[in-house]
Structure 1
Amino acid sequence: MPWPRSSRRTVWGVLTLFTVLRFGVLSVKITQLKVPRLVQNGSDVTLDCEFQVEPHESRHLELVVKWFFGGDPEPVYQWIPAHGRPQGLGLLKGRLDLNYGTRNERGSAGIRIVGATTELTGDYKCSISTYDGEDFMIKPMIVFAPETNMYLQYGRPAEDTFNISCVAEGVFPEPRMFLYYARPDVKDKTAIKAASLCETQQREYPMEGVTVETGRRGDSFTTRASAEVEDLEHFLGAILFICELRVPQTEYCQRRAIMYLPGGDDESHQIDAEGGSGTAELKISALLVAVIPTVTILYHNF
């Protein structure tokens, strides 16, 4: 027979009181854990853990500050203010600004990582304890690496076919890649630059038959997306081909664009980030390539 509701409330009340008296859960409390959700590879990053200690604890306080990473039971940082300086341990040994923790006794148990790298992606747990109580909070952080190289290229394996291939190297975490096409309003570098912006407003269509391959090299990924077009009559007039790179769990986005001009003036225009240009001969069509916004364009002559 189930217990009456009033009896269950009484039991929970007794258990709660016992927990408070036994473990002192009210003696220390973490009020806010500040862990950036996303940081760039190689940057310095600060993680803060704000806490409060009950007034009756302050007279015999034995504060212990610990940080843990990725579910490992061994800390990567520990500081007992009464016993000396903080320590960087495990994965964070030699990678911390140990002077940053000097204000921890005033209610902030922060750490500062110098030159965070991609292997530091994971969950961070801050633990604050005294003789009579302990509290902790956990938050994730992603250390992402933008591509070291990204290019979109065009090939003609036969007169009636051509293929589009896009490659991005050095990305972390594992990215996603998409190929689109669009009909440009104008046939110059203005349309290419507009298509190279992730917030473009033009109408675009996903390409069919796209193959995406991703492989890991050390601490980063290389992704390649490709598609072959056999029915050139489907693309009457100028066509923009667009490659889009996105990193999941982030808002990071990069694009490259190519303009295909069937029956053009047999020139290819090279456009760099500063707006400079050059020309190179092509036998079949004119090809415009843009790399936006900060990388000098990589031009491939086929």
Structure 2
Amino acid sequence: MSSLPALLVAVVASISGIISGAEINQLDIPDVIRNGTGPVTLSCVYDLTGSDNGLVIKWFHDEAELIYQWIPPMSPQDIGVIKGLTEYPEDAVSRPKSHSIIRLKEVTLAMSGNYTCSVSTFEEEDIKTKRMIVYAPESNATVFVTPPSSKDGPITLVCAVHGAWPRPGLTFLVDGVPVEGQFTVYPANLEEYQNQGSWVRYEATIEEPLTPVRVNCEINIPFTNYRRQEGIVYYPSSHRSTAPVDNENASSPHCASKFLEPIVSRAAETVTTNPENKVSEAQSSSFSVFPNSSSHSTSADNATGHLVHTVTTQSPDSPRSSRPTEPIPTQIIAD
């Protein structure tokens, strides 16, 4: 019975607003956003019940990393992955009893992760968490085929992709039929990925086809709607010319094209972020590789006598990439 009076006091105090409380109503963060986009707004909307004594607003990145602290009326302090990349105009700091707003000048790949807003007073705290994916399209994608090393031997399909993050998923399609392969370069995390030059490489071994086939590599970035295909047409041994190399005309695209026909297609890309920020983009295009999108050369390998056709293809996203890279040569060797 002795606890009843204390309970009644607590109820009355709560109703009268003596006990302060904080409740987060909304956490507005883009779900998916492209690397380099800006400005981008992160917003935490909350209600305070009663006094705002001891009000502190904090933001965390991936739960443990404190990136922002605001103790009104002092100015917000930011550290960690957002340090130096924020701005706080008047509208971002004018409502300390209801809004905490972080305005990012631009987003980086390191900013991907979970964001937690914490609003606390002396008596109570409330938190909410939401995930933001920052992605980057590839800056270079190369597909090539290693012909058989012996008669009736297999061929190896190779797809090498540079600059895409999160680590892209890759799939081979041979005349539209999926072919399972394996990653031979696949870094474990962003730091390792960047240290290794931001490459992933995917390979598959199949029997050499009897007729020319289209070999596509489909690139998809996890947690986004980003899809794209890069490909070539592979000509088996029975469909290649065995005539001696004409060194004078070897660099001609017409000579080269009978050994390799590049096919590059740009699938529709649609990325929509949080409606509150009204950030969206849609890109759809297709283009011919000859002669503007790639460089071609054909030459004789003095050591083996094989004819080597080199094709360098740049992704249409290259001009917008945050990490420019040199083109990667593709070599198809004709016996």
Partner of residue 87, structure 1:
77
Partner of residue 163, structure 2:
170
Matched, 1:218 2:212: no
CA distance in 2, matches of 1:249, 1:26: 39
* SS of aligned partner of 1:225: strand
* SS of aligned partner of 1:42: coil
Aligned AA (1:207)? V
1:269–1:288 contact (8 Å) kept in structure 2: no
* SS of aligned partner of 1:81: coil
Matched, 1:241 2:271: no
* SS of aligned partner of 2:66: coil
Partner of residue 275, structure 1:
288
Post-superposition Cα deviations, 1:265-293, rounded to whole Å, max 9, x if no partner, equal 73544567643625766988999997765
Instruction: Give the Å deviation of 1:62.
Output: 5.2
Q: Which runs of 5+ in 2 are unaligned?
A: 242-257, 265-285, 300-305, 320-326
Choose the corresponding residue for 2:206, options 211, 220, 229: 229
Partner of residue 330, structure 2:
300
TM-score for both structures, normalised by structure 2: 0.63
Partner of residue 273, structure 2:
none
User: Where do residues 191-206 of structure 1 align in structure 2 (5 Å cutoff)?
Assistant: 204-206=176-178
Partner of residue 30, structure 1:
24
Instruction: Give the Å deviation of 1:85.
Output: 1.5
Structure 1 pair 287/162, CA: closer, same or farther in 2 (3 Å)? Answer: farther
Partner of residue 136, structure 2:
145
1:267–1:287 contact (8 Å) kept in structure 2: no
CA distance in 1, matches of 2:138, 2:34: 11
Instruction: Give the Å deviation of 1:61.
Output: 5.5
Aligned AA (1:170)? G
Sequence identity of aligned pairs in percent?
26
CA distance in 2, matches of 1:222, 1:206: 22
Partner of residue 118, structure 2:
127
Aligned AA (1:227)? A
Matched, 1:64 2:36: no
Instruction: Give the Å deviation of 1:40.
Output: 2.1
Instruction: Give the Å deviation of 1:19.
Output: 11
Q: Which runs of 5+ in 1 are unaligned?
A: 1-9, 183-203
CA distance in 2, matches of 1:260, 1:224: 19
Instruction: Give the Å deviation of 1:168.
Output: 0.9
Instruction: Give the Å deviation of 1:71.
Output: 1.8
* SS of aligned partner of 1:178: strand
Choose the corresponding residue for 2:41, options 35, 38, 46: 46
Deviates more, 1:259-268 or 1:92-101: 259-268
Aligned AA (2:202)? A
Deviates more, 1:62-71 or 1:163-172: 62-71
TM-score for both structures, normalised by structure 1: 0.69
Post-superposition Cα deviations, 1:75-97, rounded to whole Å, max 9, x if no partner, equal 32112222x21111344332211
Structure 1 pair 300/98, CA: closer, same or farther in 2 (3 Å)? Answer: same
Instruction: Give the Å deviation of 1:125.
Output: 0.9
Partner of residue 5, structure 1:
none
Instruction: Give the Å deviation of 1:47.
Output: 0.9
* SS of aligned partner of 1:71: coil
CA distance in 2, matches of 1:277, 1:218: 32
Post-superposition Cα deviations, 1:83-119, rounded to whole Å, max 9, x if no partner, equal x211113443322113362233363211122332222
* SS of aligned partner of 1:101: helix
Q: Which runs of 4+ in 1 moved over 4 A?
A: 16-21, 23-26, 269-274, 278-299
1:256–1:290 contact (8 Å) kept in structure 2: no
Partner of residue 96, structure 2:
105
Aligned residues: 259
Structure with the largest fraction of helix: 1
Partner of residue 86, structure 2:
96
Aligned AA (1:139)? K
